[in-house]
Structure 1
């Protein structure tokens, strides 16, 4: 009897070793076949644990993300612990290993269980939409604002096809957005901005019209034509209105919801913070757009300090990022 039990144990041990070997072979094969397949499988497993998707996109090939990029993703992950934070990066399409080996910021962000990095493959994302033919004809070398127009195209394609929340990488989230429905925010009295878009369900009629307008009225040398201008004019046509307001199935939120500090005051982020401003941002706003493009256009080189408004926001909403600079 003892010999029989011993034989059974040996067989079970051998079977266990074979199963472990097979699993190891399968996953190593996935990785060898490229990051797209491996990350897709990985994200499908993660998606079963989470409700709702939040999207960030990096349309250049750079993997050396900024501290503000890092804070944006971290703040989204903290405000939405039950949602999957999808960071699409064009530079990941070649080799997933570059992500962890060359960039400390990305490695730190991977420690958040609900953050996943995915290759940004335009041909896949734009397929089965009018953007597919537009992208096929696009002469990327001649585009004046290439990364911006690609970003504009990606956000409406992602939300139309899959539903969720889109965020620019210079937006800090202060609250959970999953209670909003088909929401956009006013940047000024009668002008929308697309740095934050909330369309949780796919196949929005409004977004489909945005995609069509993007292609039909494409002007690559006109900054904003495919972005804020597009959202504003399409909503006016969609609802037959001149004054921008909530209509049909689209919710338009007031300025303080997403863009409490106007772009004209972008330097405020690099000035000494007051307690009242920080409290107002936290209590009245879902997000804060930092207007990083204004900093680039003005060639401002500045280190984020703890007493600055931006430094205080880092401390409050993205402490891991804050600890990397302090």
Structure 2
């Protein structure tokens, strides 16, 4: 049995302590933490480790699962794999709320996604402690007072807060788990336009301690409206762009510079508008090259009927899985089709 072990809450700023007990000492644990930690972890060293050692400033790519589920959706797995493939020299961090420090998951368990992602060289899976993430940011007082049980959109609101805090603390790129990467983003500090009136926060990138993110977190708390869908996410960054840049309408296909960051045009991540999201599940049109896109946002929130990747459909999404996350396609999509 080859277990996966997870660090306790003192790693990441966030510093985690961890102690490993191998159920099969002849085999190494599946990787869920930075390689630097492997020697300390497997030798049962239990001491604080600096977050600066674990997460390299300005180079990480971050995903988060804010529900308790331990089997991410095939699309989420594809999103992480595609980022791993697109950014081979950067570390991918996937935070999962459902993980605990003493949890053991084996290759033979019914969980398929975690072992698959753990086998990827530059992917690290970490337990999410949102309180630790938002500590030392403007979000901390809000987190201490908020009652998740009374929040209609808690999994979305907590994700909105996570991305602002984690990128402010460490720098890098945040992506939602329904974004499939195509090629590396060239800009360092960026947001992206969803349509002519909305700047979305499904993907964003900034250097560590960027003032814009700090200002966003202050607005997050000051104008908190958790019961309004999107108010803490795209609504927040859109009103902050209006405040910082004086922009309310985004026309044309050119990227825009605002102060020291870019506002990328709709083709970069949102070439298919959310109103026509089902286009991703239709037959691939050769004209859909997406040559001007860094990644594609597949609008999973709109997928109420749980449309899936169908083998042999030649749909846009099937082609994306085959080309951008082939291991997910082979080991999860094809495996499910055999049942």
User: TM-score per shorter chain, which class?
Assistant: 0.7 to 0.9
The correspondence for 1:59, drawn from 50, 66, 81, is 66
1:125 aligns with 2:129: no
1:113 partner SS: coil
- Once the two structures are TM-superposed, the CA of residue 198 in structure 1 deviates from its matched residue by 1.3
1:230 partner SS: helix
- Once the two structures are TM-superposed, the CA of residue 222 in structure 1 deviates from its matched residue by 0.1
Match runs of 1:230-309 below 5 Å: 230-244=236-250, 245-277=256-288, 280-281=289-290, 283-296=291-304, 299-306=305-312, 307-309=314-316
* Superposed CA offset, 1:66-125 (max 9, x none): 110010000000000000000011111343423764521111111111000111111110
Q: Which residue pairs with 2:124 in the alignment?
A: 116
Any conservation in 2 of the 1:160–1:204 contact (CA below 8 Å)?
Answer: yes
Q: Which residue pairs with 2:102 in the alignment?
A: 95
Q: Which residue pairs with 1:3 in the alignment?
A: none
Gaps of 5+ in 1: 1-22
Q: Which residue pairs with 2:233 in the alignment?
A: 227
- Give the Cα–Cα distance (whole angstroms) in 2 for the partners of residues 41 and 109 of structure 1: 24
2:81 partner SS: helix
Match runs of 1:118-267 below 5 Å: 118-177=126-185, 179-199=186-206, 201-244=207-250, 245-267=256-278
> Cα RMSD between the aligned structures?
2.4
Question: What is the TM-score normalised by the length of structure 1?
Answer: 0.82
Question: Rg larger in 1 or in 2?
Answer: 1
Q: Which residue pairs with 1:13 in the alignment?
A: none
Question: What is the TM-score normalised by the length of structure 2?
Answer: 0.79
- Give the Cα–Cα distance (whole angstroms) in 2 for the partners of residues 204 and 42 of structure 1: 18
1:188 partner SS: coil
Aligned pair count reads 289
Any conservation in 1 of the 2:225–2:231 contact (CA below 8 Å)?
Answer: yes
- Give the Cα–Cα distance (whole angstroms) in 2 for the partners of residues 57 and 99 of structure 1: 22
CA gap of 1:137–1:99, structure 2 versus 1, over 3 A, is farther
Gaps of 5+ in 2: 1-37, 251-255, 335-339
- Give the Cα–Cα distance (whole angstroms) in 1 for the partners of residues 268 and 232 of structure 2: 23
Any conservation in 2 of the 1:183–1:251 contact (CA below 8 Å)?
Answer: yes
